[in-house]
Chains A and B, each alone.
Chain A
Amino acid sequence: MLIQILGSGCSRCHETERRVLNAVSRLGIAADIRKVTDMKEIMSFGVLGTPAVVIDGKVVSQGKVPSEDELRKLLSGDK
């Protein structure tokens, strides 16, 4: 599973990353987590509100810091 976190490096983006890491380790799944900070790449997802979370190429959350509960659901539901 590929998880991308889109954001230009603001505090809300860091918080999102922290929660994704937590959720992944809690679920014990193997995931490749990448931060995307390049604006060109962020925009290619059609996202205007950062931070955003992309799982296997699909935008699942944008413009907010998702809760760990929500992330766990998104991560396990997609599998």
Chain B
Amino acid sequence: MPDFLKLFADLVVYRWLGLHAGAHLADALDFFIYDVIKILLLLTAIIFVVSVIRSFFPPEKTRQFLGRKRSWVGNILAALLGIVTPFCSCSAVPLFIGFLESGIPLGVTLSFLISSPTVNEVALVMLLGLFGWKVAGLYIASGVGIAIVAGIILGRLKLERYVEEYVYQIKVGAADYVRPTFRQRATDAWTYTGEILRKVGLWVLVGVGAGALIHGYVPVDWLAKYAGRGNPLAVPLAVLIGVPLYSNAAGTIPIVQALTAKGVPIGTALALMMAVTALSLPEAIILRRVMKPRLLATYFGVVALAIVFVGYLFNAVIR
């Protein structure tokens, strides 16, 4: 299929527009058209499939399933389920309460809460399209890894008393879960895919456009000198900058691309991206409703440290 796309891009740029192959602008445009179509097709297919799969893992089911698991196994399963259970930051509070109420340990609950926003299918597709399967694979593995390890550590720290008291007093009612028909699952998945595409479409254009421009025009500059391999503080600094910021995962990809194109190592750029998506000020404000400051600070601290660690690991593994 990619070959058809290449043919199509060539047709548009060199035939219809009559631009000359080999010219900077023409090749950048060719690259742009090819990549935009490729990523949009990938996004449509993957978001649709992921949404259908997700409809089989509603949070109510995940909660029942995790209730019988203890730490370690629980943390690993929670981190993996975090990928397939649909999640939006506005559901973080009811999820947190619901998990704890059913007896799921705090550390396991946090593993889920970390992996769910960190491993994002839109980011995955864009990394796959722009950087290849190696970076995309490491992204998933490290997201799940961070969720497991941070959850285990947080579980060991005995932080239960720093959960707001009212959380333990809430009684969760019996859920009358309506089992959707397959048709309903497909319709929902399709609607959701459209929603996401409308939301991130612009970012795909910006991301790929930035990449296309940078490939041809921007020289490696001072960023590489100060945030390159020579500076061991670059990774923690990137995380420190990323934590208060919030953007959806698609919005951070153009930044990742611009940074790597300017000579910042991929681990440093991905650490920034994960810090932006996994931890943010708005999320802290939402979670403050169920976590006392001490727990909230420890949660952010441990996750930030895990991201720094993964950043170094990436820089060491991918050269």
Name A residues whose Cβ lies closer than 8 Å to a Cβ of B: 7-13, 39-40, 42-51, 58-60, 62-65, 67
User: Do the beta carbons of A48 and B94 come within 8 Å of each other?
Assistant: yes
- Contact indicator per residue, chain B 173-185, by CB within 8 Å of chain A (1) or not (0): 1111010000000
Shortest beta-carbon contacts, A-B, top 10: A10-B90, A46-B175, A48-B59, A46-B173, A48-B98, A44-B173, A43-B172, A49-B91, A43-B170, A48-B94
| A46 and B94 contact, Cβ closer than 8 Å, known pairs A10-B88, A64-B192 | no
Q: Which residues of A contact B93 (CB under 8 A)?
A: 8, 39
Q: Smallest distance from the beta carbon of B187 to chain A beta carbons, Å? A: 8
* CB pairs A–B below 8 angstroms (11 shown): A9-B90, A39-B97, A42-B94, A43-B98, A45-B175, A48-B58, A49-B58, A49-B86, A49-B88, A49-B91, A50-B91
Residue of A nearest to B175 (CB): A46
| A63 and B191 contact, Cβ closer than 8 Å, known pairs A12-B90, A44-B171 | no
**Does more than half of chain A's interface fall in helix, strand or loop, or is it mixed?**
loop
Q: A43-B94, A44-B171 are in contact. List 5 more A-B contacts (CB 8 A).
A: A8-B90, A8-B93, A10-B88, A13-B90, A47-B60
Interface residues of B toward A: which range?
20 to 34
Q: Smallest distance from the beta carbon of B62 to chain A beta carbons, Å? A: 8
- Contact indicator per residue, chain B 53-93, by CB within 8 Å of chain A (1) or not (0): 00000111001000000000000000000000010111101
> Would you list which residues of chain B between 149 and 180 have a CB under 8 Å from chain A?
166, 170-176, 178
